[in-house]
Amino acid sequence: MALPAVGDPEVVATTARLCLRHAAQSDAPFVLEILNEPGWLRYIGDRGVRNLDDARQYIRERFQAGYAQDGYGMYVVERSGEPGPVGLCGLVNRDWLPAPDIGFAMLARVAGQGLGSEAAAAVLELARTRFSLERLVAVTAPDNAPSRRLLRKLGFECQSEKHPTPENKFLCLYSRDLVRAMSPAEVAGSYDQIAERWTAPGFDASNGISAHQRALAFLEPPSRDFPALDVGCGANGRIIDTLLTAGLDVEGLDLSERMLELARARHPEITFHHADICEWQPPRHYAFISAWDSLWHAPLADQPKVLRRLLGALSPGGVIIFTSGGLDRPGETRDEAMGVPMYHATPGIPALLDIIDKSGCTCRHLEYDQWPELHIFVIAQKIPNP
């Protein structure tokens, strides 16, 4: 098999801060450095790489051979726009593991900056979308607490505390199933088929209304000058009615054509946006945003940026209410419980709260409103200008 051309490393993924690419022979000084850092030697092991020739051979036999044989391997991680690698992250097939292994290691000088989790999240998305992998595993030393925390953050679950290795050692084995995300257009197509359910006489029109009334209580006395947005507004207009009753100037947004057709028939005076929330740019700031049972349909990889965009669209003192899955770590499902294919995902409560905090907002309320179902709603408010 032909190996990648020397000096021509392929970029496989980019994130907000990072670039992941194939390793090249010119990376030998970096490989020599990271393979001999105390953290690598303690938690991963001594690979016997002592000089630049050893490092070049390691790149050929461990990294480039993997790209040629499996299509994937360990990638060099760089900061976007900055020279020099800062870490490794990628996928490796190992005979003694039941699925491809995700591995990551960052240089000690960049530890604590979240680069490992950012790179690993990008590799997870590659595994799912580019390589169509259905399951990943990871192994780590039992006393490697940072690695174990990162794996849990990524949605991996511990399967064994003592998984044997060929060297007769024992490592912790983690695994995670990968669900193929449905695109927003696919989700909208499913909703097109069942839109009438939300306008049928038996539909519970009280669903979510008390939560919205709680969220509205955090606003200053509203007036028609206060714009509001209902994301994933759907067909029956119950949330729009609630916001109109509160005196807000309401807009709706949905990607399902049939949902919007029914919504316009009920509220012909309202402005509706037919748009994909993952791509849509808010045209103005809003005093109130609702994303009830809608944001969680966005692909898991897109949800953080969508939430940040919505939080950024709040005016000072503005309030958002949204629902999500009440998990402690990322998760996603795909099923046909509603009679059509449907996808749900959540970054996990810690990630949601972190995004809220870093977007200049405060969490005012978080509630499991359908316990024991893991359905939560979150109310957050933009911190007013001092």
CATH at residue 209: 3.40.50.150
Does 82 fall in a domain? yes
In terms of domains, do 302 and 317 share one?
yes
Does 328 fall in a domain? yes
Q: Which of 152, 177, 202 is the last residue of a domain?
A: 177
Q: Whole-angstrom Cα distance, residue 207 to residue 339?
A: 20
Does 4 fall in a domain? no
350: cis peptide before it, omega within 30°? Answer: no
User: Hey, what amino acid is at 42?
Assistant: R
How many domains does the structure of the chain reveal? Answer: 2
Residue 237 DSSP code = -
CATH at residue 129: 3.40.630.30
Does 3 fall in a domain? no
In terms of domains, do 373 and 231 share one?
yes
Length of the chain: 386
In terms of domains, do 34 and 161 share one?
yes
Q: pLDDT tens digits, residue range 261-306?
A: 999 999 999 999 999 999 999 999 999 999 999 999 999 989 999 9
Does 5 fall in a domain? no
Mean pLDDT of 248-255: 96
Which segments within the chain are labelled E, that is strand? Answer: 11-14, 18-21, 74-79, 85-92, 101-106, 135-140, 157-164, 170-177, 227-231, 249-254, 271-274, 286-291, 314-325, 331-335, 342-346, 361-368, 375-382
In terms of domains, do 278 and 342 share one?
yes
Does 66 fall in a domain? yes
Does 2 fall in a domain? no
Confidence of residue 9 (pLDDT cuts 50, 70, 90): confident
Q: Could you tell me the pTM of the whole model?
A: 0.74
- Find the domain containing 53 and state its range: 11-177
R_g of the chain computed on alpha carbons: 24
In terms of domains, do 280 and 233 share one?
yes
Q: Is the pLDDT of residue 6 over 70?
A: no
In terms of domains, do 233 and 257 share one?
yes
In terms of domains, do 350 and 285 share one?
yes
Highest mean pLDDT among 125-129, 131-135, 321-325: 321-325
Maximum C-alpha span of the chain: 75
Q: Which of 148, 177, 206 is the last residue of a domain?
A: 177
* pLDDT at residue 5, rounded to an integer: 42
Does 85 fall in a domain? yes
Q: Whole-angstrom Cα distance, residue 107 to residue 86?
A: 6
Q: Is the pLDDT of residue 385 over 90?
A: no
3-state secondary structure of 227: strand
In terms of domains, do 144 and 237 share one?
no
Q: pLDDT tens digits, residue range 51-64?
A: 999 999 999 999 99
In terms of domains, do 222 and 116 share one?
no
Mean pLDDT of 103-126: 94
The partner residues of 286 in beta bridges, in order of sequence, read 314
In terms of domains, do 200 and 138 share one?
no
Q: Is the pLDDT of residue 4 over 60?
A: no
Residue among 274, 130, 270, 124 at smallest CA distance from 191? 274
Residue among 319, 317, 326, 316 at smallest CA distance from 366? 326
Q: Is the pLDDT of residue 8 over 70?
A: no
Q: Which of 121, 143, 177 is the last residue of a domain?
A: 177
In terms of domains, do 193 and 307 share one?
yes
- List C-alpha distances in Å: 299 to 75, 107, 366: 24, 30, 22
In terms of domains, do 188 and 173 share one?
no
